[in-house]
């Protein structure tokens, strides 16, 4: 009996140890700066009280582990496909649009058409996120914007790495844009995307400028990578779920399977290095716990330095591309900024823009 009791007590002790939260021991802020500038630190970060109840609940949901859980490319694509289908069905209940698969210039696309087409002479090109190797937003990024603007959205299913590295995706976007120019004036075309799609938005714009093509009326890079050689401070602090989860040490080039043998400082691949003069009006959106916060804000500054019309909106306390969560009031706010921006810029001349801004 005594032996059995000892085993039970020992087992209970192990269970208690296993259930103990090591983070509970972190009660103060602490940081050490090393000779090369590396900072090793611990932080206690309360949840901002300004967030909506929905956002607080979302960011407070339990997380099983902070460990890295590698996925094959097939697993990643399959998981995102299931997630996208679920969000598509939810969004179609929120916005009066139809979605159908099609092609433009031989490139597969998803046509998102508002039930009430407010502007038949306008079109928006959506470039989905997904790390250049999967589709994490061809529905979630296009449906809200189409529904709110009443404008046709062409969501481009560009070729993906590792099978098709840079510049395949850029070439696909340029081909679609060229084809749409046969029907639409450049002043009535906008291009936008989130994450990898935001990067591709800027990469395509730089390529169009190099090709001396007529530029679109507006760009919407929402949480954008600036350089494949440097992710900035926020890449060391956050992952796609903000402060939650595994954050790898930033080393080497970013998105290596997309970059492959291209110089990561190439001005098309890394738009922060490009000649950004005479770019279209651009709306940047990011958030304080976005792994691309540094890159997005640096790009916005670069656009301002180049004399462009650039606006940067930063949401408090939310993670990377939070607007793909359609349950958040903050997402609806972000969609509104996107739609209002394109409503203002498409079809407007420079003088009209200035007058609109003045009023």
Instruction: State pLDDT tens for residues 231-272.
Output: 899 999 999 999 988 888 777 788 999 999 999 999 999 999
Question: pTM here?
Answer: 0.90
Nearest residue to 338 via CA among 352, 321, 354? 321
Q: Are 317 and 288 in contact (CB under 8 A)?
A: yes
Q: Are 327 and 58 in contact (CB under 8 A)?
A: yes
Q: Which residues pair with 345 in a beta bridge?
A: none
pLDDT digits (tens, 9 = 90+) for 338-354: 999 999 999 975 434 44
Return the ∠ at Cα 272 (arms to 312 and 332), rounded to 5°: 30
pLDDT score recorded for residue 191: 98
Tokens of 128: 């989905």
The residue with tokens 């770019």 is: 279
Among left, alpha and beta (phi > 0; psi -120 to 50; other), residue 155 is: beta
- Measured CA to CA, the distance from residue 26 to residue 21 in angstroms comes to 10
Q: Which residues pair with 218 in a beta bridge?
A: 190
- Measured CA to CA, the distance from residue 190 to residue 200 in angstroms comes to 13
75 — phi, psi (to 5°)?
A: -65, -40
The class level of CATH for 93-346 reads alpha beta
- Measured CA to CA, the distance from residue 5 to residue 107 in angstroms comes to 70
pLDDT score recorded for residue 12: 36
- Measured CA to CA, the distance from residue 341 to residue 231 in angstroms comes to 27
pLDDT in tens for each of the 359 residues of the chain?
333 333 333 333 344 444 566 677 888 888 888 999 888 888 888 999 999 999 999 999 988 778 888 899 999 999 999 999 999 999 999 999 999 999 999 999 999 999 999 999 999 999 999 999 999 999 999 999 999 999 999 999 999 999 999 999 999 999 999 999 999 999 999 999 999 999 999 999 999 999 999 999 999 999 999 999 998 999 999 999 999 888 887 777 889 999 999 999 999 999 999 999 999 999 999 999 999 999 999 999 999 999 999 999 999 999 999 999 999 999 999 999 999 999 999 997 543 444 333 33
Domain boundaries, the chain: 93-346
pLDDT score recorded for residue 6: 36
pLDDT score recorded for residue 311: 98
| 223 DSSP assignment | S
Name the E strands within 115-212. 123-127, 152-156, 189-194
Nearest residue to 144 via CA among 269, 14, 324? 324
- Measured CA to CA, the distance from residue 244 to residue 63 in angstroms comes to 8
Where is 74: in which H helix or E strand?
A: helix 73-94
pLDDT score recorded for residue 11: 36
């Amino acid at each position: 009996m005594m032996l059995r009791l000892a085993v039970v007590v020992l087992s209970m002790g192990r269970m208690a140890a296993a259930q103990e939260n090591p983070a509970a021991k972190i009660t103060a802020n602490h940081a050490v700066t090393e000779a090369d500038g590396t900072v090793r630190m611990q932080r206690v970060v309360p949840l901002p009280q300004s967030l909506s109840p929905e956002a607080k609940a979302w960011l407070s949901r339990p997380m099983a582990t902070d460990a890295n859980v590698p996925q094959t490319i097939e697993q990643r694509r399959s998981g995102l496909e299931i997630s996208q289908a679920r969000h598509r069905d939810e969004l179609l209940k929120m916005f009066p649009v139809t979605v159908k698969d099609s092609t433009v210039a031989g490139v597969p696309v998803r046509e998102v058409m508002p039930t009430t087409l407010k502007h038949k002479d306008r079109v928006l090109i959506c470039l989905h996120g997904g790390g250049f190797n999967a589709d994490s937003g061809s529905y979630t990024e296009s449906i809200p914007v189409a529904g709110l603007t009443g404008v046709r959205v062409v969501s481009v299913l560009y070729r993906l790495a590792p099978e098709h590295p840079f510049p395949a995706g850029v070439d696909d976007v340029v081909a679609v844009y060229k084809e749409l120019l046969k029907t639409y004036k450049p002043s009535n075309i906008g291009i936008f995307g989130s994450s990898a799609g935001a990067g591709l938005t800027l990469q395509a714009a730089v390529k169009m400028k190099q090709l001396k093509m007529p530029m679109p009326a507006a760009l919407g890079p929402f949480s954008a990578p600036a350089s494949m050689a440097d992710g900035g401070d926020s890449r060391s602090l956050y992952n796609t779920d903000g402060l939650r989860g595994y954050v790898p040490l930033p080393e080497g080039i970013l998105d290596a399977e997309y970059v492959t043998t291209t110089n990561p400082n190439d001005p098309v691949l890394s738009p922060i290095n490009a000649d950004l003069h005479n770019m279209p009006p651009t709306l940047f959106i990011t958030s304080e716990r976005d792994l691309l916060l540094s890159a997005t804000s640096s790009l916005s500054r670069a656009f301002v330095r180049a004399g462009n019309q650039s606006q940067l909106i930063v949401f408090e306390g939310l993670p990377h591309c939070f607007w793909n969560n359609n349950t958040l009031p903050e997402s609806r706010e972000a969609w509104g900024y996107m739609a209002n921006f394109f409503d203002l810029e498409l079809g407007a001349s420079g003088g009209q823009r200035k007058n609109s801004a003045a009023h």
